[in-house]
């Protein structure tokens, strides 16, 4: 049975390669991809043949295909074929990994791109690190949203997840420390929708959720420069909101749908939440906060013993 499957894979790929973009071949193309996915399921020999023939060209073609079902079926094949060894190959072919992120952006309801990211990508901190450096800011926001979803999901992080997410925490924290002042670009109307600044805001959201996890908290509490940078950013936003009428001003703004939204208070509240978490049962950090807030004369009430 295995030999028949492997032979079938060879024949199928020869046909699929010829017909990837011909409109009247769309339905047969879908069926061919389904067939490949089915015979590769739980069959390592067929998975190996699929990988040899599909990686990287066919995956690149299918993941960018205008037909949603072709994207979904090729994502199913990729999910089925991936293993730890092949994940390393993705690090050298980042376009495929980034195409999966884009597929999830375009089809958030499709389970296969989502599962590839959550069950494979997020388990490889090396891949996430090199991906993040190459992705657009919109793609970064999508990836960060999925990290948040994993952190706040119904299933808690397992013992095997913790070392991986500690590596993610290093990437998130170091990136935030380096780039957090990008959010100040939002004080200018010209940069009101700046994607880099919006990605920085999402980094803060991830840090809030990471520091709400007791297994990740202690690492982030002593991360070099993180607490100091968060406090300084809070000071700068407070000053910017008082200096001019902008997105961080206390007056707030009205969105198109009619809801009154005060982005300043929303962003400040996340900064304060992060400071509170970093101070949780950590006297050194509590002393730092008292010192910094005293120096900068920012009178903001928040509990130093933050309940995570």
The per-residue pLDDT for range 204-216, each reduced to its tens digit, is 999 999 999 999 9
Q: Which two tokens stand for residue 298?
A: 């920012």
Q: Which two tokens stand for residue 109?
A: 């309801």
Q: Which two tokens stand for residue 302?
A: 């928040």
Same domain, 163 and 68: no
Q: Provide the whole-model pTM.
A: 0.86
Which residues constitute the domain of residue 110? 1-134
Cα separation, 241 vs 277, whole angstroms: 24
Which of 134, 165, 181 is the last residue in one of the domains? 134
Which of 134, 157, 184 is the last residue in one of the domains? 134
Same domain, 1 and 121: yes
Q: Among 264, 261, 262, 290, which Cα is nearest to 275's?
A: 290
Same domain, 288 and 145: yes
pLDDT of residue 99: 98
Task: List own/partner pairs for 6-10 with CB under 8 A and 24 or more apart.
Answer: 6/45, 6/46, 6/49, 8/35, 8/39, 9/36, 9/39, 9/40, 9/46, 9/49, 9/50, 9/53, 10/49, 10/53
pLDDT of residue 262: 47
Same domain, 155 and 215: yes
Over residues 159-188, mean pLDDT: 94
Q: Which two tokens stand for residue 50?
A: 């699929």
**CB-CB contact of 115 with 79 (8 Å):** yes
Which of 119, 134, 149 is the last residue in one of the domains? 134
State the pLDDT confidence band at 54, using cuts at 50, 70 and 90: confident
pLDDT of residue 188: 72
Q: Which residue has the tokens 């388990």?
A: 123
Q: State pLDDT tens for residues 70-124.
A: 999 999 999 999 999 999 999 999 999 999 999 999 999 999 999 999 999 999 9
């Amino acid at each position: 049975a295995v030999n028949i499957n492997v032979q079938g894979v060879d024949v199928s790929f020869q046909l699929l390669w010829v017909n990837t973009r011909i409109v009247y071949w769309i339905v047969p193309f879908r069926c061919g991809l389904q067939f490949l996915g089915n015979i590769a399921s739980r069959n390592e020999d067929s998975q190996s043949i699929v990988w040899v023939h599909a990686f990287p060209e066919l995956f690149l073609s299918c993941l960018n295909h205008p037909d949603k079902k072709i994207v979904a079926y090729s994502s199913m094949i990729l999910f089925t074929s991936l293993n730890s060894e092949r994940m390393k190959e993705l690090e050298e072919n980042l376009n495929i990994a980034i195409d999966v992120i884009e597929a999830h952006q375009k089809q958030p309801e499709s389970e296969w791109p989502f599962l590839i990211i959550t069950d494979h990508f997020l388990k490889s901190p090396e891949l996430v690190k090199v991906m993040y450096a190459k992705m657009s800011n919109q793609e970064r926001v999508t990836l960060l949203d999925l990290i948040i979803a994993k952190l706040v999901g119904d299933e808690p992080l397992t013992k095997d997840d913790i070392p991986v997410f500690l590596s993610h925490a290093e990437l998130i924290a170091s990136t935030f420390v380096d780039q957090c002042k990008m959010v100040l670009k939002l004080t200018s109307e010209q940069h009101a929708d700046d994607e880099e600044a919006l990605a920085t805001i999402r980094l803060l959201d991830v840090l809030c959720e990471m520091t709400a996890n007791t297994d990740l908290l202690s690492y982030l509490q002593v991360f070099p420069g993180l607490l100091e940078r968060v406090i300084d950013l809070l000071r700068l936003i407070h000053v910017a909101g008082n200096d001019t009428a902008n997105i961080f001003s206390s007056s707030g703004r009205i969105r198109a749908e009619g809801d009154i939204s005060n982005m300043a208070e929303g962003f400040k509240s996340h900064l304060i939440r992060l400071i509170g978490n970093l101070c949780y049962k950590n006297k050194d950090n509590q002393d730092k906060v008292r010192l910094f807030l005293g120096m900068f004369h920012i009178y903001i009430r928040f509990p130093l013993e933050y309940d995570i």
